Chain A
Amino acid sequence: MLEYIFGVISLGLIYVIATTGLAVFTGFTGLFSLGHAAFFAIGAYTAAILTYFYGWNFYLALAAGAAAGGLVGFLIGYPTLKAKLRTDYFAIATLGFGEAIRVLLENLPITQGARGLPGIRGETNLPVLLVSAALVIWLARNLIRSRHGRAAVAIREDFVAAEMMGVDIFIGRLRSLTFSAACAGLAGGLFAHYFCFIQPSMFTSYMSTQMTAAVVAGGMGSISGPVVATLIFIGIPEALRVANIWRLVAYGLLLVLIMVFRPQGLMGYREFSLDLVKGWFGLARKGGKA
């Protein structure tokens, strides 16, 4: 039983790492990626191939996976963000990119095609996951509180005004995308060494959807919101043992309901803090709404 609970927590933490990255990108620049599973897959395959075929050290391989994810994010982002594609054009471009990566993974010799890579060393454990998640959340928090973060919020709210104030939209968006792709890559490396087996069909749009749903439900422009939402999204279906397919039905419905009734999401534009909890119970120090 304890083993099972640890398993759910581990899976939750892997997704927390990827979602935190996506929260920095989508939540703070307003651009949507429908292909984030591809960065996840690149990280997973890079790290797994390095430990599996070349016997690299696990931590070095993880770093290489994150770097590969970030690098590909940069390479994809450079032309598409430079061209300032509309939000929806960018989304469809990332969808195509995700598909291209999957086709590539299925046809390259080193990835062993659709058969996947079995027998990867199982080195991901709870302490490693906790440290990685804490590190990523800390980095994300620092990033959004920095000059870069404020610029990113300005871009999301009104990019014409932001550009007129001297914010470089291209650099801001590219930096966010590279960071989030690197996070997804790191999560992918951890994922591969946790399940000890990866194949291209694991990294479908289902994964991208789940991450996007967690960011939207948790609240755009928040880090703690998506983290909490991810843990709920992983934990509740596992606890209730709901069939996979009904989860997706619920995610879809949830996205629409949030947009209609509570577009700011769970935590919208705020962070989790003690004052916020006190506010919920009417204990806020200054009185009134927190």
Chain B
Amino acid sequence: MFLQTLLTGLAIGGIYALMAVGYSLVFSILNFSNFAYGSIIMLGSYISYFTMVKLGMPIGLAVVLSIVGAALLCWLNERLAYSPLRKRRASSLFFMISAMGTAIFLENLVYAIVGAHFYAFPEVFTKTNLTFLGASISVLDVFAIVFSSITIYALHTFLQKSRTGIAIRAASYDISVCSLNGVNDGALIGLVFMLAGGLAGVSGTFLGMKYIVYPTMGWITNKAYIAAVIGGLGSLPGAVVGGILLGVLETFVSAYVSSVVRDVFSFSLLVLLLLVMPTGLFGRFLEEKV
């Protein structure tokens, strides 16, 4: 029972970690919470569902298309909803309202056009189970754990080793100094949003396979946001630790206490942690920049 819960928690935590990294990446550069990210993840999920099930493409291609599609949507979101504000040097409050507007718009657009149907992926992966030390784990969960680890490791290497990665890390400290040193900040921000969108495509696909595809599934991404805040917004290792921690704790609560209080538990955990450690576990952003 214990090992079983731990494994399930790790699988969910891996997906949370992917999404939380996407949140944190954008936050580290622009210093605002991109509440539209949840809807991008939802759209990524729809893309992989429709390409895989309706168009009959293989899963690998569906994931790639979902990554590309979500990356483009995320980039477009930045160009249309955030970059005019950025050019005006608006405060983070305005960015947040714009992000909220985007989230409401996209979510309900899907409702209005595609409808409120629930789409389930074919149960090929979820039904096959592996047994590990007496605990059974679905192939999908194994895949989720492995694939999220690889993605996060690749992103980490990119940020640490490549020239562009160094520019992104520099911009997360101070974007104006960074652009004074010859970095094209508009292009850099576009790239960061595309990276975040790519992560949204991957996590959206897993989320859709694990649960079900529907317009308000972006709600689950609030958990990823909580994970990012617990880890400390703007810190990528923090997002990973926060995601896995929240996934495991939540699964234990729903296994040993009740699944009704699971969501309330995550939010209470967030508030309690913020009261004790306002920066989260690894964060460095205490106050808003005025």
Q: Which residues of A are at the interface with B, using a C-beta cutoff of 8 A?
A: 30, 32, 34, 79-80, 83-89, 91-93, 95-97, 99-100, 103, 107, 158-161, 209, 212, 216, 243, 245-246, 248-249, 251-256, 258-260, 263
Judge if B263 is at the interface, Cβ distance under 8 Å. yes
A100 to B105, CA, bound (A): 25
Interface size class of B (residues with CB under 8 A): 35 or more
Q: In the complex the two chains form, is B105's CB within 8 Å of A93's CB?
A: no
Contact A87 B98 (CB under 8 A): no
The answer on a CB contact under 8 Å between B104 and A83 is: no
Q: Which residue of A lies closest to B288 (CB)?
A: A86
CB distance A263 to B104 under 8 Å?
no
Give Cα A79 to B274, complex, Å: 10
- Which of chain B's residues has its CB closest to A93's CB? B271
Identify B278's interface contact among A83, A103, A258, CB under 8 A.
A83
- The answer on a CB contact under 8 Å between A30 and B93 is yes
B90 at the interface (CB under 8 A from A): yes
- Interface segment among B106-114, B126-134, B199-207: the answer is B106-114
State how many angstroms separate the Cβ of B103 from the closest Cβ of chain A: 7
Cα–Cα, bound, A96→B264 (Å):
7
- Check if A253 sits within 8 Å of B274, measured CB to CB: no
Interface string of B256-283 (1 = CB under 8 A from A): 0000110110111011001100100000
Contact of B270 among A86, A96, A161, A255 (CB under 8 A): A96
Instruction: Say yes or no: B270 contacts A256, CB within 8 Å.
Output: no
Instruction: Determine whether the beta carbon of A32 is less than 8 Å from that of B268.
Output: no
- B84 contacts A255, CB within 8 Å? no
User: In the bound complex, do residue B222 and residue A92 qualify as a contact, i.e. CB atoms below 8 Å apart?
Assistant: yes
Which secondary structure dominates where chain B touches chain A? Answer: helix
Complex-state Cα separation, A258 to B98, whole angstroms = 8
Residues on A with C-beta less than 8 A from B135 are none
* Residues in A neighbouring B112, C-beta threshold 8 A: 243, 245-246, 249
Is the beta-carbon distance between B225 and A252 smaller than 8 angstroms? no
B278 near A260: Cβ-Cβ < 8 Å: no
Q: How far is the CA of A249 from the CA of B278 in the complex (A)?
A: 34
Which residues of chain B have C-beta atoms less than 8 A from A99's C-beta?
263-264, 267
B39 vs chain A, min Cβ distance (A):
9
Interface residues of B in 49-98 (CB under 8 A from A): 80-81, 84-85, 88, 90, 92-98
Q: What is the CA–CA distance of A243 and B288 in the complex, to the nearest angstrom?
A: 39
- The yes or no answer to B100 lying at the interface (CB within 8 A) is yes
The answer on a CB contact under 8 Å between B100 and A88 is no
B239 at the interface (CB under 8 A from A): no
Bound-state CA distance A24–B35 (Å) is 24
Do residues B100 and A93 form an inter-chain contact, with CB atoms below 8 A?
Answer: no
Are A255 and B268 in contact, CB atoms less than 8 angstroms apart? no
Contacts of A79 in B (CB 8 A): 271, 275
Q: Evaluate contact between A256 and B101: CB separation under 8 angstroms.
A: yes
Q: Are B81's CB and A85's CB within 8 A?
A: no
A86 to B274, CA, bound (A): 10
Whether, in the assembled complex, B8 has its beta carbon less than 8 Å from a beta carbon of chain A, the answer is no
The minimal Cβ–Cβ distance linking A88 to chain B, given in whole angstroms, is 4
* Chain B min CB distance to A78 (Å): 11
A100 nearest in chain B by CB position: B264
Is B33 part of the contact surface with A, judged by Cβ < 8 Å? yes
Known: A99-B263, A99-B264. A252 touches B105 (CB 8 A): yes
- The reply to whether B270 and A93 form a contact with Cβ atoms under 8 Å apart is yes
Cβ of A249: which chain B residues have Cβ within 8 Å of it? 104-105, 108-109, 112
* CB closest residue in chain B, given A103: B264
Interface membership of B226, Cβ < 8 A:
yes
Contacts of B270 in A (CB 8 A): 92-93, 96
